């Protein structure tokens, strides 16, 4: 089948825009969960902010699943899709009036602080 064409990438971006009820970003986890709660009127819960996939130092690999070195390699098709996801996310933050300031209540209701969320979720970011 080969590499995706420009048309395939555009179709994927269109599907991202129209085929998903919610688009969040893992590197903006706290805001993503707050946005989700606002969009779907679910309220915030501590479980939304629990790191269910903690890593330990040395756990990150510079290899793909087949053991090939991936340092420095960039997926040329992922960039445009990630940029589209970021655009959708930012538009929805604006549409629903979600920001760090407006999420303080959500995080408080969940019994967490932004600082604790970020440190729990990304404490090992330097090894990723």
- b/e string for 73-103 if b means 16 or more Cβ within 10 A? eeeeeeeeeeebbeebbeebbeeeebeeeeb
Q: What is the pLDDT of residue 56?
A: 58
pLDDT tens, N- to C-terminus, the chain (128 residues) = 688 899 999 999 999 999 999 999 988 999 999 999 999 999 999 999 887 777 655 555 666 655 566 777 777 888 899 999 999 999 999 999 999 999 999 999 999 888 887 766 544 443 33
Rounded Cα–Cα distance for residues 37 and 8 (Å)? 32
pTM over 0.75: yes
Residue spans per domain, the chain:
6-54+75-127
């Amino acid at each position: 089948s080969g590499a995706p064409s420009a048309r395939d990438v555009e179709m994927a971006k269109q599907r991202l825009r129209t085929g998903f009820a919610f688009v969040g970003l893992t590197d903006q986890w706290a805001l993503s969960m707050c946005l989700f709660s606002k969009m779907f009127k679910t309220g915030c819960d501590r479980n939304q902010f629990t790191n269910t996939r903690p890593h330990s130092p040395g756990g990150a690999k510079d290899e793909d699943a087949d053991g090939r070195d991936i340092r420095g390699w960039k997926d040329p098709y992922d960039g445009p899709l990630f940029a589209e996801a970021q655009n959708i996310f930012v538009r929805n933050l604006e549409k629903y009036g979600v920001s760090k300031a407006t999420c303080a209540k959500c995080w408080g209701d969940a019994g967490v602080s932004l600082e604790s969320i970020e440190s729990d979720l990304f404490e090992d970011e330097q090894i990723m």
